[in-house]
Amino acid sequence: MGNWRDPGTLIGTFLFLLRPPPMPACPSACACSVGEVDCTEHELLEVPQNLPANTSTLWLDYNFITMLRPGSFPFLPVLLRLSLPHNHLETIHSKALVGLGKLQELDLSNNYLTVLTSETFLPLISLVTLNLGSNRLQELEPRVLYVLPQLQTLFLNSNPWVCTCSIQPLWHWLSHNREKMREKSLLLCTFPEQLNKYPVMAFRNESFRQCWENSLFIQDYAFFLLIGPFSFLASIFLCIFMGSVTVACHNLHKESHSWRRFSVCRRH
């Protein structure tokens, strides 16, 4: 009890209790400060797993990450900003971003993305800014954007957009959300050749008139391509079947006639 009466001991104990908690472990390839983890330019092939739980900003620029797998991000309940530009990112698994419900800014620019699904971004209910610029996107389903209720800023520039009838749903979304688009002048068609460098935002409803007039879809063309060979094969089988039936009937008739002649001979 005497030790607790010592003023020096009491002051030391008080100062110990006031000390900030030790910093969470930081990945060896990154630099960590309060709430921020910088893993830029470290030739990383995947997202580090031992990230501090209090990370609010994560920089992964200029690495060699090719895929975001399920569980790529550990428990990061307060992550607000995720930066992944200038990687070799080709694929994002539908479960890769699970747990990032607080994320507000996502930068995926300057990668090799070709396909995105709505399931991928479904967990990002707080996302405000999405940068998909300078990828290899030729088309984008509007459902990918509809699942982002808080989206305010979108970059789609410098992608090789295919401006056929398939781009109409995306154009329709963009035309009703012009205030969200950034760098609209760089949203250009690449294919078909006659529309190369043509601004996607310059289309009008009339531009898709041929799509309305032509109601045939891919499955319709496939049907017409298949119906010819199918009819040909069906006719062959039908001819074989009818020929077999005819031969069988002829043989049966012949056997019946022979049996009657045999019966007549026996009676005589």
pLDDT at position 242: 74
8 confidence band (pLDDT: 50, 70, 90): low
User: d(Cα 243, Cα 141) in Å, to the nearest integer?
Assistant: 54
pLDDT average, residue stretch 140-147: 95
Tens of pLDDT, residue by residue over 76-122, are 999 999 999 999 999 999 999 999 999 999 999 999 999 999 999 99
Does residue 254 carry a pLDDT above 80?
no
pLDDT-based confidence at 137, cuts 50/70/90? very high
Contact by Cβ (8 Å): 200, 171: yes
Report CA dihedral (182, 148, 176, 142) to the nearest 10 degrees: 100
- Give the per-residue pLDDT at 128: 98
Would you place residue 75 in the very low, low, confident or very high pLDDT band (cuts 50, 70, 90)? confident
- How does pLDDT run across 145-199, given as a tens digit for each residue? 999 999 999 999 999 999 999 999 999 999 999 999 999 889 999 999 999 999 9
Looking at residue 239, its pLDDT comes to 63
- Give the CA diameter of the chain: 145
- Closest-CA residue to 69 (of 86, 51, 39, 89): 89
Instruction: Determine contact, residues 45/69, Cβ cutoff 8 Å.
Output: no
What is d(CA 218, CA 180) in angstroms, rounded to the nearest whole number? 32
Report the C-alpha gap between 222 and 27 in whole angstroms: 53
Tokens of 180: 């969200």
pLDDT in the model for residue 257: 56
Q: Specify the pTM.
A: 0.71
Per-residue pLDDT band for 227 (boundaries 50, 70, 90) equals low
Mean pLDDT for the chain overall = 83
Give residue 220's pLDDT band: very low, low, confident or very high (50, 70, 90). Answer: low
CB neighbours of 131 closer than 8 A, spacing ≥ 6?
A: 85, 106, 107, 108, 109, 155
105-107/161-162 β-pairing: unpaired
What are the sequence ranges of the domains in the chain? 31-212
Contact 125, 97 (CB under 8 A): no
pLDDT of residue 31 exceeding 80: yes
Q: What pLDDT sits at residue 219? A: 55
Per CATH, the number for 31-212 is 3.80.10.10
Q: What is the pLDDT of residue 264?
A: 45
